[in-house]
Amino acid sequence: MKSILGKKIVLGLSGGIACYKAAELCRLLIKAGAEVQVVMTEAATQFITPVTMQALSNQTVFASQWDARAPNNMAHINLTRQADLVLVAPASADFMAKLLHGQADDLLSLLCLARPMESCPLVLAPAMNREMWQHPATQRNVAQLHEDGSWVLGVGVGEQACGESGDGRMLEPWEIVQEVARVFTPKTLLGHRVLVSAGPTFEALDPVRGITNRSSGKMGYALASAAWLSGADVTLVSGPVGLECPRGVKRVMVESALEMHAAVESFAKQSDVFIATAAVADWRVKQAAVNKIKKTKDSPTPGFEFIQNPDILASVAGGPRAQARALYCVGFAAETQDVAQQTQEKRLSKGVPLMVGNLGPATFGLDDNELLLVDEVGTSHLPRASKEELAQSLIAHIAKSLPAFLRTA
């Protein structure tokens, strides 16, 4: 995560069983390139030891406002003056109530209050019993903390340590890391609605067999995540893949090309950007078998009549919203040869402002790729990198091109 790389983060732990997740959270932040300084309340030390957090962060853990290791004995001042962000995870109901009222009777609450607000954002990851989370007092506190400028994250839903089930669980560590990355990412697409199609489609031959392709959906999912990090409201229309839905993204699962076409057409009406990364099957069987086609010793090889599937990108790009230049369409061309020429030809035939070319066999199922961006200005090459990095570069390119495109409407 480029936005987290090199950042100095104070990771605060208040009391709660969710402290066990803080160990993995610390590890993931460091893996993303952050420097993590852990600060714990006395209650937090009852759930996880400072030794554990020190070993993971490779930094001395602070747990007392009276810690004399700071030369001026002002750890609550020193710890945030060089920090880029304070993250409290878990943030208990009691701790959030204290912050709301400006109470500061321990090191963690002191440094939250004393941090320079303009340069050191405060992110809170709540964790508590479902009844505590739903209580009107907690909800009032959350709303006021939002209003005061804190980033209060949502909560997870599921089984809780007390044996009950519901909302109030702390988000999973990977989700919190995504939220931290979003805080640091420039909001170049804030206020825009982005639609992404991803993955393969599956065209049934009979109830158990079908035609598909090797697309993993990883590029489309990375683009949906990158758009969300950049502040966009993102909808992802996905074919059958085995990937987790990206944080903050609304996902609609489909199977066939016809289902994907209907979903994309519906959401495109309210979108500002459409990124068509899905590897849509060009053909489908005119009439799929009602029952499984049996193979016997003497059975003939089955024959199928194929018909073309709709061209989703061309359909959306030729629609009234795109023609009025209110929808910026981006296509993907997975080629096997002459990538530059065929990508440009496809851009012109589809009538889209940007087409992204790549070698299909060199990317299907992999975690990295290289891309060729082709628009009316010319071509630019994104060298081989992880699909997450490429997605961030492509979203930056779209965000830069979008204002001029919309001005011509």
pLDDT tens per residue, range 338-361: 888 899 999 999 999 999 998 766
Active-site residue (options: 26, 162, 245, 329): 162
Residue in the structure block whose two tokens are 């990355």: 181
Amino acid at 307: I
Which sequence spans correspond to the domains of the chain?
A: 8-184, 193-407
Q: Which three-class secondary structure state does DSSP give residue 54?
A: helix
Model confidence, pTM: 0.91
pLDDT reading at 73 higher than 80: no
The percent of residues in the chain predicted with pLDDT above 90, rounded, is: 81
In terms of C-beta distances under 8 Å and separation of at least 24 residues, what long-range contacts does 300-306 make, across chains too? 304/205
Q: For the packed helices 173-184 and 19-31, what is the interaxial angle rounded to 10 degrees?
A: 50
- Find the mean pLDDT for residues 215-227: 96
- Indicate the CATH number for domain 193-407: 3.40.50.10300
Confidence (pLDDT) at 409 = 63
In terms of C-beta distances under 8 Å and separation of at least 24 residues, what long-range contacts does 307-311 make, across chains too? 307/283, 308/282, 308/283, 309/201, 309/203, 309/257, 309/258, 309/261, 309/280, 309/281, 309/282, 309/283, 309/284, 310/257, 310/258, 310/261, 311/350
pLDDT reading at 224 higher than 80: yes
Specify whether 162 is catalytic: yes
Q: Could you tell me the pLDDT band of residue 335, with boundaries at 50, 70 and 90?
A: confident
Confidence (pLDDT) at 155 = 95
| Alpha-carbon gap, residue 259 to 278, rounded angstroms | 13
| Alpha-carbon gap, residue 13 to 61, rounded angstroms | 11
* Architecture of the 8-184 domain: 3-Layer(aba) Sandwich (3.40)
- Find the mean pLDDT for residues 115-136: 96
- Find the mean pLDDT for residues 237-245: 96
Q: Which residue has the higher pLDDT, 302 or 183?
A: 183
- By DSSP bridging, strand 250-253 and strand 203-204 are unpaired
Please name the helix (run of DSSP H) or strand (run of DSSP E) that holds residue 136, with its range, or none. helix 136-147
- The CA-atom distances, in angstroms, between 43 and each of 13, 26, 61, 160 are 9, 18, 14, 19
Residue 194 Cα to chain centre, angstroms? 13
Residue in the structure block whose two tokens are 């830069």: 400
- Find the mean pLDDT for residues 104-133: 95
Confidence (pLDDT) at 70 = 76
